[in-house]
Amino acid sequence: MQTANISNLLAQAMRHETNRDFEAACKVMLTANIHRPQNAFILGKLIRYQSTIKKMIHLQKLVKTGELAIVPIGFRCFTKATLEAALSFRQPSLPFDVGFFPPQSLVSILKSGDMRFPASSSGQLLHEVCRKFDNHTCPANGVGIHFETSTYQEVNSQVAKAPPNPDIGQWLDDTRAYYTLNTKHGYILAHYNWHESAPAFANSDMPDHLTQMQLINDIFTRRMERFLQACHNAKLIIFVYGETQGHNYMSIDDTAFDLTDISDLSSVTQERFQTPSTTVKLLDVANWGKVLDIAERVCPDILVDAGQENRVA
């Protein structure tokens, strides 16, 4: 292979390394090594990539054993799906998988340890249904996502309009569930508390809203217990907060919540759990190489066994 082609391979490998995609870098460097087996630089890089990949595989094993907890923690539903797709793993449902959770609501939930909808003196579970406005602009805060509190009557009347309302997404989510505000913690639930047209109940009777809200509280109780147990069992917790659509804020009526600052959230997660932990943005865990960077920075002891595996190999 000509020197120019080898140089192109090395440049490609360096780009993958910069992006912490060590599997891709290793594949490219293997090709370079085939054509330049005595090149010390290529051989050194190849050995380093292979050693790094062994550490990444070790971290993947720790996720399966629960020693490493990688926890989606808002802002929207896509954080869980994006995280699992990027790292090719699956995990049970956790509290912040569905809905809209600005950092301030997460702080409130973590401090209380409870995300359920509170009950009134009459036993009704306190909540509001909302209308959603994507790409909402505000002179003070820029572009964000805005919710206005509404009523079941208003939402239902809008959904019932014929022909089908082109703005249906403002009133119901894509599973035909209401945008349901938890008035205590300030988050918006999605994919639960369904409208009567929801496909989930196409072949069965839909519970009334009181019953649905009680079922939601039961689900949240189980998910919060699962979340707390996972954090208790882990040797390292990586909380992952995702906002990738360029929204600066989420607002509910006249109250705006900053989506760009997770410093308070990071402080609360460290105070709440004795386990070494960190709170990062979704792009910070785009691949296992970046997860490894975090582990080496926050809890290098978790990689001790991986080092022993490397010496044996």
Q: What are phi and psi of 180, to 5 degrees?
A: -110, 120
Q: Hey, where are the domains in the chain? A: 3-64+306-312, 67-295
Confidence band (pLDDT; 50, 70, 90) for 306?
Answer: low
**In the predicted structure, residue 164 carries a pLDDT above the cut 80:** no
Q: Which of 4, 66, 28 is nearest to 235 (CA)?
A: 66
Q: Which of 129, 89, 73 is nearest to 259 (CA)?
A: 73
Model pLDDT for residues 220-241, shown as the tens digit of each residue: 999 999 999 999 999 999 999 9
What's the CA gap between 57 and 295, in Å, rounded? Answer: 13
Q: Where are the alpha helices (DSSP H) in the chain?
A: 3-18, 22-35, 40-65, 78-87, 103-112, 152-159, 168-171, 209-233, 263-272, 288-298, 304-312
What's the CA gap between 188 and 172, in Å, rounded? Answer: 12
**Count of residues for the chain?**
313
On whether the CB atoms of residues 279 and 265 are closer than 8 A, the answer is yes
What's the CA gap between 30 and 51, in Å, rounded? Answer: 14
Confidence band (pLDDT; 50, 70, 90) for 124?
Answer: confident
**In the predicted structure, residue 308 carries a pLDDT above the cut 60:** no
Q: Where are the alpha helices (DSSP H) in 66-117?
A: 78-87, 103-112
| Residue 215: DSSP 8-state | H
Give the count of alpha carbons within 13 A of 116, CB side only. Answer: 20
Model pLDDT for residues 53-83, shown as the tens digit of each residue: 999 999 999 999 999 999 999 899 889 999 9
Confidence band (pLDDT; 50, 70, 90) for 203?
Answer: low
Q: What are phi and psi of 86, to 5 degrees?
A: -65, -35
**Where is 145: in which H helix or E strand?**
strand 142-149
**In the predicted structure, residue 161 carries a pLDDT above the cut 90:** no
User: Is residue 143 helix, strand or coil?
Assistant: strand
- Other CB atoms within 10 Å distance of the CB of residue 44: 11
**In the predicted structure, residue 280 carries a pLDDT above the cut 70:** yes
Confidence band (pLDDT; 50, 70, 90) for 250?
Answer: very high
Question: What's the chain's Rg over C-alpha atoms?
Answer: 24
What's the CA gap between 31 and 154, in Å, rounded? Answer: 63
